[in-house]
Amino acid sequence: MPVVSHLFEPIKLRDLVIRNRAWVSPMCQYSATDGVPDDWHLVHLGQFATGGAGLIISEATAVVPEGRISPQDTGLWNDEQVAAWRRINDFLHAQGAATGVQLAHAGRKASTSAPWEGGQTVPASEGGWETVSSTANAFGNNAAPRALTEAEVAELPAQFAAAARRAEQAGFDVVELHFAHGYLAHQFYSPLVNDRTDRYGGDFDNRVRVLLEITDAVREAWPADRPLFARISATDWVEGGWTGEDSVRLSRLLAERGVDLVDASTGGAVPKAEIPISAGYQVRFARQVRTGADVPTAAVGLITSPEQAEEIVASGSADAVLLGRELLRDPHWPLRAADRLHADNIWPKQYERARRI
């Protein structure tokens, strides 16, 4: 009998059983047209499914056109996008993978060019648009946003809920709410960014209000038997900013509202934060949230070796690991990791000839 490692144990969240805990982190591809994913996305995500990943979470996918990070981001605001995502999900499911979508609004970090084109604000004359935020202050050298009115903020939950309903139609198993990396939700809860004086600004309760409203709306719209995740930035890495203790408090509130797993990342609210990057540097926040809020977590950030990933799950630091750049380097990392850890994993029959040298 094969040895079942902790990393390769299935995990059940609501009615969804995911075949292992080696998951694909959302990674923007800046390659869509009018929010519609195409053959690039099919092949990009499909390789992770044939490579043995348990859950594949697609890139930050905008709930409205102005929520895109770049004009080339994917979306879920119309039926054409739903059909394109369903084609991709059908293939991923056929390989045994579960699928997720990260619903997002970039706020003041929207309307920028792809990273390889400089990541600068795209002017309206070149397909860009006016950005919005909790504040009228710009992020770094980006164009200054317009501060959302209180009435406009109150419309955000319905926008996320509508996208969640389309995610169901597209065949996704998981919805992840993107509350991290300095995008719109994070622009509300970070005290370094939110300078509002209305019911969405000021103290902790007011700054997280819109996140809880979005969560409530999405949980109502999203099927009760399917898991709901939230990605948060567990610290701003800046004195006076959001902290790990704040993240525990927020995660408790999210769990009370039906969030099944917190994906603990960090940073992104303000430029020039000093982040002590090293192997697994964010794992401690996944552990802090898991312990303090009593909610399942996923760890992400410079997780590269099978042994490192195994230790994270085996030690109880997190319930799953999310891999990004390492999967870009080796899309079949889960298959190779299972062999390294003497665990069982299902190789595609087309690839079995490569399983042993």
Judge whether residue 1 has pLDDT over 50: no
| Cut 0.85: pTM above it | yes
Query: What confidence tens digit (pLDDT) does each residue in 154-171 have?
Result: 999 999 999 999 999 999
**Residue 355: what pLDDT?**
81
- Per 3-state DSSP, the chain is made up of helix, strand and coil in percentages (nearest 5) of 35, 15, 45
Judge whether residue 357 has pLDDT over 70: no
Query: What confidence tens digit (pLDDT) does each residue in 211-237 have?
Result: 999 999 999 999 999 999 999 999 999
Judge whether residue 264 has pLDDT over 70: yes
Judge whether residue 2 has pLDDT over 80: no
d(CA 226, CA 204): 29
What fold does the segment set 11-354 form as a domain?
TIM Barrel (3.20.20)
Residues in contact with 188: Cβ distance below 8 Å, sequence separation at least 6, in sequence order: 134, 194, 200, 201, 207, 208, 209, 210, 211
Catalytic residue among 183, 189, 200, 281: 183
Query: What confidence tens digit (pLDDT) does each residue in 31-67 have?
Result: 999 999 999 999 999 999 999 999 999 999 999 999 9
What type of residue is 3?
V
Query: What confidence tens digit (pLDDT) does each residue in 92-110 have?
Result: 999 999 999 999 999 999 9
Based on the residue annotation, tell me whether 183 is a catalytic residue of this protein.
Answer: yes
Q: What percent of the chain has pLDDT over 90?
A: 94
Mean pLDDT of the chain: 96
